[in-house]
Amino acid sequence: MDLRQLNYFLKIAERRNMTLAAAELHVTQPTLTKSIKLLEQELGVPLFQRLPRGMELTEFGRRLVRHAEAMQVQVGDAIGELESLKGGAGARVNIGAGPSWQRSHLPSAIALALAQNPRLRLRVVGGFDDALMRGLRRGDLDFVVAELPFADTSSDLKLEMLTSDQLVVFCRADHPLTALERPSLEQTLHYPWVLPVARVTRARRRLEALFVAHNLAPPEATIEADSITFLLAIVKETDALSYTNKETLVTPQGHGLTMLDIDILTTARAAGLWTRRDAWLSSDALAIMEALREVCRERPSN
């Protein structure tokens, strides 16, 4: 088994199609087929089930994916560390950031880090929790700034709290519910909700759990989107409700929106840094992380 075989295997596992995988890897399909057959012979197990319209991982294949991804990340860390020792140009720092971090704290931290080292090279990837964590675990991202869970149950990831804020239900300023002193959970269900796509954020899962805890079915999203800017715009134009951190409402994008005074649905949350446990990080990545800490000490609410 060699790294090239594992890279081929992971690409097929991702695409579920030999032709597509071969095209993305810039190799011929027979080369890819031969490599996988040799890997299966070496391991003595089938890794894929061949189907008329693609390929599916077997249980053996699913187990190998986990180990192959870990090996790929470790090799990437090793190459990065050796390149750093050679003293060449710094590698690009890849940062994953949740919506609220993209708006304020991260730009301020990057500006601070760039003032200290104008040669920094960065790539910032936006998104919601699940996609960012996948990128971090694959090694595509050096670190992530996003909401933290109540308890650290991720043995492979290291968490560091930097800020705290409140999650609130919000609507347009002249929404019918704003005329009520304290709207109830039941009353919010009379209106449409717009929420992040398919439960990909901890905030959405928390919202749903609060309804369930009070013996109510969680709100069904009339509209789902992977852009907080789009969600805010829809709420401004309709009777829809949504759920986000309180600080969003004082931004330019939050103009014309207001929070609803619903104690049950107003909850505190923590946010901060996610890194892979024991991962190697470049000096540039560490410098940006330290700049984030400095910004968050001055502005502890995000």
Q: What is the CATH number of the domain that holds 171?
A: 3.40.190.290
Examine the domain organization and report whether 142 and 284 are in the same domain: yes
In angstroms, what CA-CA distances link 216 with 144, 184, 185, 189?
34, 12, 8, 9
Residue 300's closest CA among 113, 161, 163, 110? 163
The CATH number of the domain where 36 resides is what? 1.10.10.10
What is the per-residue pLDDT across 226-284, written as a single tens digit (0 to 9) for each? Answer: 888 899 999 999 999 999 888 888 888 899 999 999 999 999 989 999 999 888 888 89
Distance CA 130, CA 34 (A): 34
Domain count, the chain: 3
Rg (CA), the chain: 23
Which range marks the domain in which residue 201 is found? Answer: 165-268
Does residue 192 contact residue 238 with C-beta atoms inside 8 Å?
Answer: yes
What is the per-residue pLDDT across 182-203, written as a single tens digit (0 to 9) for each? Answer: 999 999 999 999 998 766 678 8
Question: 75, 106, 137: which is the final residue of a domain?
Answer: 75
In terms of pLDDT, which residue wins out, 188 or 140?
188
- Does 80 map to a domain? no
What dihedral do alpha carbons 26, 30, 32, 36 form, nearest 10°? 180
Q: What is the mean pLDDT of residues 108-135?
A: 90
Examine the domain organization and report whether 179 and 251 are in the same domain: yes
Examine the domain organization and report whether 54 and 147 are in the same domain: no
Examine the domain organization and report whether 111 and 189 are in the same domain: no
Q: How far separated are the first and last CA of the chain, in Å rounded?
A: 47
| pTM recorded for the entire structure | 0.69
Examine the domain organization and report whether 100 and 39 are in the same domain: no
